[in-house]
Structure 1
Amino acid sequence: MTRVLTAGVALTSMLALAACGAASTGATSDGGGGEMTVVMWGGEDQKTNVKAAIAPWAEQNDVTVKQDSPSDYAKIRAQVESGKVSWDVVEVEPNFAYTACKKGWAEKLDLDKIDTDRLKPEMVTDCAIPVLEYAFTIGYNTESFPDDHPTTWAEFFDTKKFPGKRGFWKYATGAMFEAALLADGVAPDELYPLDIDRAFKKLDTIKDSIVFYETGEQQQQLVASGEAPLVQAWNGRIYSAAKEGQPVANEWGEHLLSYDQLIIPKGSRNADTVQKWAAWFVEHPEAQAGYSNATAYSPVTKEALELIDDDVLPFLPSAPENVGKQAAIIDYSYWAKHYDEVSERLNEWAAQ
């Protein structure tokens, strides 16, 4: 998962995908044809996801897959409102998916044709289905904390017991407010609606120790270098850095579960093609497992977990030993309503 969330211009290159590996994924033809343009966050992460989860179906159904990146919310809106929609399926955060559905920027899905019983109900809306799950964990530097490290958000905020800078994603829905409230004693099942005033008061207690990151690369660099030996992390980023030999690890205590969704911009000429693929994706766990095995982000169905490699499974949010350590699933219906106001306040607070 590689993302820099801005309203800037997306990359313009449209790359034809050479689909491969269809026989191994059980893709079956439905007599399709045509094309669809897939937009995700870009980089190797996108290539991995498209290769595993889209290319096999596309090859069997004679569908040409094009790619663009990164996901850009302003561009989605501009395409829809201008009537010039060139994107067909876009990976987005759920709070934007809520907004896009409400504002008419996203197509309504024919959920009767998608086996949503396989999906977590809180991750499905009229216009969106999940494409992956990930967790906000406590990422820590194993050299800075070789024997003892924070296992709760209260300990993460304890700079006396665990000295050093703390890294947070400078983004309202980046779970820093949920973490602050958990650290301040709010029960996980009482998080929402968030008490933002209380969260800022708790964040004030460690403000001098906070270092903000804006990309996954920055997050990894902060914790691996020891500049911020504790970060609120995306679990897959810590996993990949550890695989590269960096001195980092995930702590799963009180992790916050998040997810990305897929939407079809309103007016897509290939909406029917995308919906056929979406139905196949949900019903084919092998299409999800290929991406998860490469990234340690969780698939969206239980069936796919059975196909996760034994050496990868412990690093997924949906691993049995990690599920019980989950504090909460982030409530994106809350964030759809409050994102703008909290973002403005966060930027002002960070600048003070």
Structure 2
Amino acid sequence: MRIGQLVTAVGVTGAMVMLSACSGSNAAEDGKTLTIVAWGGEDQKAHVRATAEAWAEENGITIKQDSPTDYAKLRAQVESGKVSWGAVEVEPNFAHTACDNGWAEKLDSSIDTSLLKDVEVTECAVPVLEYAFTIGYNTDTFAHDHPTTWAEFFDVEKFPGKRGFWKYATGAMFEAALLADGVKPEELYPLDIERAFEKLDTIKDQIVFYETGEQQQQLVSSGEAPLIQAWNGRIFSAAQAGQPVANEWNEHLVSYDQWIIPKGSAQAEVAQEWLAHYVKDLEGQAEYANATAYAPVSEGAMEFVDPEVAKELPTAPENAAKMSTVVDYAYWAEHYDEVSKRLSEWAAQ
């Protein structure tokens, strides 16, 4: 997921932002530099502060940042043999593709993946954070009753109003449509895309697409689309700002981003060391969660999350019990291009 879009933040350019983690700055001369690449904005800065800066200072490493993540640029760096990035935040479907095509390094055995959920780990990637696609709703419009299932989300007679969806193939729109049409969560994959489009056709005239987190918030907060398939952190931050919105956690879909190391990076060794630290850094992950309302990925980190924030995370026990499924990004790695083309054509009709 493009996490730079997830919090209220000022976007940053792709220019390099250098944060020296060492007072003497001999680290760069020694080659101990790690360039962390993510989606940008205040979110990325908060993430680096929480999980990298203290570790870098302790180990004599200079941290640099670049943004946003760019898949074409990553591939070009690898294929030219001129890799300037160390650890890169990517969507899991790309992580699968990068690993399969030899664009990403294999994980070192020093990284303790036993702390992580198996479904969120591959031989080339570990998770960055966890989030949920929820039913977000306007609490003024639906003050007394709101949809609690995807079937009700699609019921425009009982719950009138526009519906907002992320205009992105891996944005869980198809999964939601199939759940609404009666497909059991454990039988979702491989997705029946034809059936999903047929279900989406039933409310097509009520669909409003968003492309950024800001648009998502504006749609549901204003009531223009009082129901929206939401990123849980966006709804939480809007509610914290006093907007009339809330998350419905029933039948939510879990998603996540991953870290990969570009193949051939001169920083690969230090990147492996940082990822080994990252998965063990429970307090750092919790600090980031407190700032963004996106969940830590390592078992035990929830102990350090503010209780008020924890209630709005997919890893909270009461929310986790309501999960429908985790998005299958191995499926999406195989089918992303064809479904994206079909979605663009359908939306334009």
Same fold (TM over 0.5): yes
Cα distance in 1 for partners of 2:60, 2:209 equals 45
Cα distance in 1 for partners of 2:5, 2:172 equals 15
Asked if the contact 1:2/1:215 (under 8 Å) is kept, the reply is no
Partner of 2:90: 92
Deviations 1:295-345 (A, max 9, x none): 111101121011111111100000011011000000000001000000000
Cα distance in 1 for partners of 2:144, 2:57 equals 50
Partner of 2:59: 61
Deviations 1:263-309 (A, max 9, x none): 01111110100110111111120111010111111101121011111
Amino acid at match of 2:265: S
The answer to whether 1:109 aligns with 2:107 is yes
Cα distance in 2 for partners of 1:212, 1:157 equals 15
Matches within 5 A, 1:1-352: 1-3=3-5, 11-19=13-21, 34-110=32-108, 112-352=109-349
Cα distance in 2 for partners of 1:144, 1:12 equals 40
Describe the SS at the equivalent of 1:317. coil
Amino acid at match of 2:335: H
Partner of 2:27: none
Amino acid at match of 2:325: A
Cα distance in 2 for partners of 1:191, 1:346 equals 19
What is the CA-CA distance between 1:11 and the residue it aligns to? 3.6
When normalised by structure 1's length, the TM-score is 0.93
Asked if the contact 1:133/1:297 (under 8 Å) is kept, the reply is yes
Describe the SS at the equivalent of 1:318. coil
Asked if the contact 1:140/1:149 (under 8 Å) is kept, the reply is yes
Deviations 1:100-135 (A, max 9, x none): 00111111111x211111100111111100010000
Query: What RMSD in Å do the two structures reach over aligned CA positions?
Result: 1.4
Amino acid at match of 1:60: E
User: Which structure 1 segments of 5+ residues have no match?
Assistant: 5-9, 21-31
Cα distance in 1 for partners of 2:324, 2:36 equals 33
Identity rate, percent: 70
Asked if the contact 1:136/1:256 (under 8 Å) is kept, the reply is yes
Amino acid at match of 2:79: E
Cα distance in 2 for partners of 1:265, 1:226 equals 43
Cα distance in 1 for partners of 2:184, 2:235 equals 27
Cα distance in 2 for partners of 1:225, 1:101 equals 42
Task: Spell out structure 1 runs of 4+ moving beyond 4 A.
Answer: none
What is the CA-CA distance between 1:55 and the residue it aligns to? 1.0
Amino acid at match of 2:334: K
Aligned pair count? 335
Asked if the contact 1:19/1:51 (under 8 Å) is kept, the reply is no
Describe the SS at the equivalent of 2:295. coil
Asked if the contact 2:163/2:206 (under 8 Å) is kept, the reply is yes
User: Which structure 2 segments of 5+ residues have no match?
Assistant: 7-11, 23-29
Asked if the contact 1:3/1:70 (under 8 Å) is kept, the reply is no
Amino acid at match of 1:270: Q
Cα distance in 2 for partners of 1:236, 1:11 equals 23
Deviations 1:135-179 (A, max 9, x none): 000111111111111110000001111111111000000000000
